[in-house]
Amino acid sequence: MSPNPQSAITNSRPEAAGARGSGAGRGATGREGHVLIAGAGIGGLACALLLARRGFSSTILERAPKLSEIGAGIQISPNASHLLLELGLGAQLAEYAVAPEALLLRAGRSGKILQRMELGAAAVARYGSPYWVVHRTDLQNVLAAAVEAEPACRIALGAQLKSFESNSEQVVVTVNDRDTYSGSALVGADGVRSSVRRLLLGDGEPEFSGYIAWRGTMAADAVPEELAGRESGLWIGPGAHLAHFPLRSGRIVNVVAIVSSDALAPDWGESCELGALDPFFAGWAEPARDLIAGVGQWLRWPLFDRAPASRWSRGRVTLLGDAAHPALPFIAQGGATAIEDAAVLARALAAAPDNIAGALHSYEEARKGRTAQMQRQSRRNGRIFHMSSPVNLLRDWRLSSMSPESFAERQDWIYGWRADA
């Protein structure tokens, strides 16, 4: 049965906020131990569930009038999938997620396979939990249904955060210029253009990266024969790269093309005409071009990021996921890192429920090094993936010369990370 997130949602007046659930680890009630979370995306929903496991209640303030996740596929590697399993979501996700058998890395122009990284059972054996690919909407729906089933959690829709005030006792958030919610902490999980970050840090807008992503899906039976099957593919070439992997139990295939471009697209999620990508992939191997031609509709997304921040917590307010440390998608860790953040944050609050500011500082300190490394590696991978001739020939030779074990070891620092839910 498909989860129904809408039944998890309330538009009730905010007076009930701060009085749900059993409170923080030492049995606190009311607004003590009640956390406000801005944003009902993957990070915000996971945060609410992981906090509930530690004895905290929460209200998620979502500015949209209904839950909807724009985009297509997301990769949930073992560093995050183990947390979803510990939350008891394995059976629900099994209806939608695919565990690819392998990742095939190819040279864009020649089509030569440069590396094969075993996933599937090999990922479970190496890291203790699966490497999944799943549609963002499906993952969000599963998380929202779990929020519905958790008495300590609630979602308020149409709640646009306008301001907040934090003192030694509580945080009070104003939404829609009139309603207020109070809690012991505020977590900004509201994305790369975070309102909480703007109010907390005032460090300006994220920067356009010089990359544009094009996303689409296609029926699995329309995929070129050479690329059919339960494997993920990554093609790298001059000024562009192409990724594809199966979704929804293998019924459809997610396709993402990312190109280097100085032409900033006007908006996120803009529909684009067929054939617009052809100039970027002229001269690429035929299966790659056939894959691109098979997508019925492309949505265009300019990519933004920030340099690693020196801080993202102050008093009773902190940030999570892209709001804290947005990274380019070249290591496919945006969603996974937000889930990691949520687990570490919940653990820190449970360890010091009477010292919220200290707990948030501990959370930040525990996460800054790893997330900064991910941001830097993502930028580095973008440069490597998009290398032009002749240096890309050396890159391809070096990649194909590596042993499969050496190639896999390069991912261990990401996929092997663990935190208790």
Residue 351 inside a domain? The answer is yes
Tens digits of residue pLDDT in 240-287: 999 999 999 899 999 999 999 987 655 555 666 678 899 999 999 999
Q: Are strands 171-175 and 161-166 parallel, antiparallel or unpaired?
A: antiparallel
Largest CA distance in the chain: 64
Cα–Cα distance list, 15 to 163, 168, 361 (Å): 17, 21, 29
Tens digits of residue pLDDT in 292-344: 999 988 999 899 999 999 999 999 999 999 999 999 999 999 999 999 999 99
| Model pLDDT, residue 267 | 57
Please, what is the average pLDDT of the chain?
90
Rounded Cα gap, residues 387 and 415, in angstroms = 26
Which CATH number does the domain housing residue 322 bear? Answer: 3.50.50.60
| Model pLDDT, residue 27 | 32
Residue 347 inside a domain? The answer is yes
Identify the sign of the CA torsion 10, 13, 18, 21.
negative
Cα–Cα distance list, 248 to 216, 241, 298, 390 (Å): 14, 23, 19, 39
**Pair of tokens at residue 168:** 């030694």
| Model pLDDT, residue 262 | 83
Residue 155 inside a domain? The answer is yes
Q: Are strands 113-118 and 102-107 parallel, antiparallel or unpaired?
A: antiparallel
Please spell the DSSP secondary structure of 212-275, one letter per residue: EEEEEEEEGGGS-GGG-SS-EEEEEETTEEEEEEEEGGGTEEEEEEEEE-SS--SSTTEEE-TT
Residue 116 inside a domain? The answer is no
**Pair of tokens at residue 346:** 């919940």
Residue 353 inside a domain? The answer is yes
pLDDT at 17 over 80: no
Residue 47 inside a domain? The answer is yes
Percent residues over pLDDT 90 in the chain: 83
Count: domains in the chain: 1
Tens digits of residue pLDDT in 28-56: 334 569 999 999 999 999 999 999 999 99
Average pLDDT for residues 185-205, to the nearest whole number?
Answer: 96
Residue 14, domain extent:
5-70+141-206+312-379
Residue 59 inside a domain? The answer is yes
Per-residue pLDDT band at 177 (split at 50, 70, 90): confident
- Closest listed residue to residue 330, CA positions, set 264, 389, 420, 260: 260
Are the CB atoms for 231 and 100 separated by under 8 Å?
A: yes
Rounded Cα gap, residues 216 and 353, in angstroms = 44
**Pair of tokens at residue 240:** 């562009």
Residue 227 inside a domain? The answer is no
- Closest listed residue to residue 239, CA positions, set 211, 264, 215: 211
